[in-house]
Amino acid sequence: MDNEKKTLLSIRNLKTYFVMDEGTAQAVDGVSFDVREGQVVGVVGESGCGKSVTIKSVLRIVQKPGRIVDGEILWWHRSQDGQEELLDLSQLDAQGKRMRNIRGGEIALIPQEPMASFSPVHTIGSQLVEAVRLHMDVSKREAKRIAIERLQEVGMPSPEQRLDAYSWELSGGLRQRAMIAMALSCSPRLLIADEPTTAIDVTTQAQVLNLLRRLQRERDMSIIFITHDLGVIAQIADFVVVMYLGRIVETGPVDDIFHNPQHPYTIALLESIPTIHQASKELLPTIKGSIPHPFNRPAGCPFYPRCQSFMPGICDKRTPVLEPANDRQSVSCFLHHNSSEEEGQADETALARARAQVSVN
Partner 1 sequence: MAESTNGNKPVLLEVNNLKKYFPIKKGFLKRVVGQVRAVDGVSFFINEGETLGLVGESGCGKTTTARCILRAVEPTAGEICFLTDDGRTVDIATLPDEEMRVLRAQIQMIFQDPYASLNPRHNILDNIGEPLFVIEQMTDREERTERVRELLQLVGLRPEYMQRFPHAFSGGQRQRIVIARALALNPRLIVADEPVSALDVSVQAQVLNLMLDLQRKLNLTYLFVAHDLSVVKHISDRVAVMYVGKIVEMSPTDELYYHPLHPYTEALMEAVPVADPRVRSAMTELEGDVPSPSNPPSGCYFHPRCRYAVDICKKEEPELIELRPDHFVSCHRAGELELEGINRDNHIDEKRIKTLN
Interface residues with partner 1 (CB under 8 A) are 46-47, 171-174, 201-207, 209-210, 228-232, 234-235, 237, 254-255, 258-259, 267-278, 280-287, 290-291
Nearer to partner 1, 45 or 104 (CB): 45
Nearer to partner 1, 136 or 234 (CB): 234
**In whole angstroms, how close is the CB of 84 to partner 1 at the nearest point?**
32
Given its phi and psi angles, is residue 155 left (phi above 0), alpha (psi -120 to 50 degrees) or beta? Answer: left
**In whole angstroms, how close is the CB of 272 to partner 1 at the nearest point?**
4
d(CA 31, CA 56) in angstroms, rounded, equals 13
Nearer to partner 1, 74 or 206 (CB): 206
Q: Report the alpha-carbon angle 84-87-92, nearest 5.
A: 140
Nearer to partner 1, 108 or 230 (CB): 230
Nearer to partner 1, 129 or 200 (CB): 200
**In whole angstroms, how close is the CB of 60 to partner 1 at the nearest point?**
28
**In whole angstroms, how close is the CB of 248 to partner 1 at the nearest point?**
17
CB atoms within 10 A of CB 111: 18
**In whole angstroms, how close is the CB of 97 to partner 1 at the nearest point?**
40
Nearer to partner 1, 1 or 202 (CB): 202
**In whole angstroms, how close is the CB of 129 to partner 1 at the nearest point?**
26
Nearer to partner 1, 20 or 352 (CB): 20
Helices 202-219 & 172-184 angle (0-180, nearest 10): 20
**In whole angstroms, how close is the CB of 81 to partner 1 at the nearest point?**
39
Cα distances from 164 to residues 186, 279, 340, 342, in angstroms, run 20, 49, 57, 59
Question: Residue-wise over 27-47: b if at least 16 C-beta within 10 A, else e?
Answer: bbbbbbbbbbbbbbbbbbbee
**In whole angstroms, how close is the CB of 206 to partner 1 at the nearest point?**
4
- Cβ distance 263 to 331 under 8 Å? yes
**In whole angstroms, how close is the CB of 305 to partner 1 at the nearest point?**
13
d(CA 20, CA 109) in angstroms, rounded, equals 28
Torsion over CA: 323, 14, 294, 194 (sign)? negative
Nearer to partner 1, 10 or 253 (CB): 253
β-sheet bridge partners, residue 25: 18
Nearer to partner 1, 87 or 267 (CB): 267
d(CA 286, CA 305) in angstroms, rounded, equals 14
d(CA 237, CA 315) in angstroms, rounded, equals 31
Beta-strand pair 66-78/84-88: antiparallel
Q: Write out the DSSP string of 279-320.
A: PTT-PPP---S-PPPGGGPPSSSTTGGG-TT--TTTTTTS-B
Rounded to 5 degrees, φ, ψ at 260 are -145, 55
**In whole angstroms, how close is the CB of 270 to partner 1 at the nearest point?**
8
Nearer to partner 1, 104 or 114 (CB): 114
For the CA atoms of the chain, what is the radius of gyration?
A: 22
